[in-house]
Amino acid sequence: MNEAANSSPAIIFVTLLIKVGVMALLAGFIARFGLFRELLMIEKRTPRQKLQFAAFLGIPFMLGVMARLAGYRGADLSLEVTVLAGLLGGTIVGLAVGMMVSLPAWLIGKEFVAFLMAVLYACVAGSARYVCPDKEEIWKFSPFIDLSLYRSIKQRFKHPAMDWQVLFSLVCAILEITQLLMGRISRHHLFYLDTNHFWSNVLIVFASLIAVGLPVRIWNNTRIQRKLEDQEHALMQARVDALTSQINPHFLFNTLNTVSSLVRFDPDMARTVILKLSNILRRRLKAQVHFSPLKQELEFVDDYLDIEVVRFGREKLQIRKEIEPEALDTVVPSMILQPLVENAIRHGIAPKIEGGTITLRAHRRNGRLRVEVADDGVGIPPEKQTGIYESGIGISNVRERLKVLYGQEFSFDINSQPGKGTAIRLELPELVVPQGTAPTEPAHASS
């Protein structure tokens, strides 16, 4: 039905402002749903995802049609949302949304042409999406094409090609004009805005362009933000991978040096070390994860210490553990303790003629995990303690990984006394993995 044929241009203008405002409000509201944001990132959707996408668009705008039937004309965006659904989701999604928003108009308003027009809107918009080879062009659609129209035409003259932004704009304009003509023909069987003023009708068409392009811009900003977050996460993941890969060659190099020193005078012991090294490498290949329970990390350290005990002898290298049982299920970054233990042996115990003891401590307090790797070796000379955090692969690597994974939520302290030994203390946010589940990364690591 034509509810605006005798309306003044001022009333039409206010109605169109309300219409654009409702579209912006609903577009922002829908974008708050996490599932909808996930669907925006998918171009080829499954039937289930298409139904979900259609529901997010159809239900709110169906309520808008019902509001229009109650007297609020600016709430009806049935044409715009159907075209929007066709462009972003394809013909099937457009048809589903068109049927949903047309249902109240048909049942309550007796607007029998609404269903047919919905099919037309969906098929035309869906076809425009289908023929567009690069779907990202759809996300570039803007209602304000006049701002770049000169630039676009000039560019097309230099490099002739289809301007998809102009095509999408023409689709919206032609469908709005078709609705106006069909509304005049069908009389009271289709809702449309119309006046006797030519420029008011032009404004109606332009408002339709804005109502379609506005949510595209809003949702595209959401997509861009999500892509930036994914890229940031991928970059951080690559950084952690790079830091982890620095540890494995370092550890392998030192172990092979041990084997090479044994192979000439004690082949059997060299064979034992090689077997233990193969066990360590096999475990690393089977579990390419960045986090693991402390229990697994200690098992890995045990394998490493078995190799070192073979090298130094049990009388020269003693191992002591003070681990609270409650701390064993707490998740820590993988390969975080072995470099510290290796550092304690190489720089603390090895230079000491009579050998020494490595002590591992771990306990949970107030939602934090405290881990300590201590030795009673030669200690760190005072002149080297200033730059200790940046020296060597082991300590600097571990500290850098913790910084990437935890931000400012961790502490890393080194306390050394020359001639008495060194203690390295870590304090990490507590993350407990229930039995039977895989470890997950801390919130900071996945943000």
Residues in the chain: 447
Q: 286-298, pLDDT tens digit by residue? A: 545 678 889 988 9
Q: By mean pLDDT, which of 7-11, 49-53, 166-170, 179-183 is the weakest?
A: 7-11
Q: Is the pLDDT of residue 309 over 80?
A: yes
Q: Is the pLDDT of residue 434 over 50?
A: no
Q: Is the pLDDT of residue 162 over 70?
A: no
Per-residue tokens: 182:
């069909």
pLDDT of residue 423: 93
In this structure, is the dihedral angle defined by the CA atoms of residues 62, 63, 64 and 67, taken in order, positive or negative?
A: positive
Q: By mean pLDDT, which of 39-43, 239-243, 436-440 is the weakest?
A: 436-440
The reply to whether the predicted model has a pTM over 0.75 is no
Q: Is the pLDDT of residue 220 over 80?
A: yes
pLDDT of residue 437: 45
Q: Is the pLDDT of residue 139 over 60?
A: yes
User: For residue 373, how many other CB atoms are within 10 A of its CB?
Assistant: 24
Q: 84-135, pLDDT tens digit by residue? A: 999 999 999 999 999 999 999 888 878 888 889 999 999 999 999 999 888 8
pLDDT of residue 140: 84
Cβ–Cβ < 8 Å for 367, 429 = yes
Q: How many helices (H) and strands (E) does the chain have?
A: 16, 7
Confidence of residue 51 (pLDDT cuts 50, 70, 90): very high
Q: Identify which has the larger pLDDT, 428 or 334.
A: 428
- Boundaries of CATH 3.30.565.10 in the chain? 263-446
Give the span between the Cα atoms of 445 and 233, in whole angstroms. Answer: 8
Per-residue tokens: 206:
């332009």
pLDDT of residue 153: 57
pLDDT of residue 367: 85
Contacts of 411 (CB under 8 A, 6+ apart): 425, 426, 427
pLDDT of residue 119: 93
pLDDT of residue 6: 47
Q: Identify which has the larger pLDDT, 310 or 181.
A: 181
Furthest-apart CA pair in the chain: how many Å?
Answer: 106
pLDDT of residue 444: 47
282: buried, middle or exposed (CB in 10 Å: 19+, 13-18, 0-12)? exposed
pLDDT of residue 382: 80
pLDDT of residue 371: 93
Confidence of residue 392 (pLDDT cuts 50, 70, 90): low
Q: Is the pLDDT of residue 322 over 90?
A: yes
Q: Is the pLDDT of residue 75 over 50?
A: yes
Average pLDDT, integer, range 226-251: 65
Q: Is 291 helix (H, G, I), strand (E, B) or coil?
A: strand
Average pLDDT, integer, range 144-148: 52
In CATH terms, 263-446 corresponds, of 3.40.430.10, 1.10.260.40, 3.20.20.70, 3.30.565.10, to 3.30.565.10
Highest-confidence range of 17-26, 105-114, 259-268, 310-319, by mean pLDDT?
17-26
Q: Is the pLDDT of residue 15 over 60?
A: yes
Q: Is 288 helix (H, G, I), strand (E, B) or coil?
A: coil
**Percentage above 70 pLDDT, the chain:** 82
In this structure, is the dihedral angle defined by the CA atoms of residues 98, 100, 101 and 104, taken in order, positive or negative?
A: positive
pLDDT of residue 438: 46
Mean pLDDT of the chain: 82
pLDDT of residue 390: 63
Q: Is the pLDDT of residue 305 over 80?
A: yes
Confidence of residue 193 (pLDDT cuts 50, 70, 90): confident
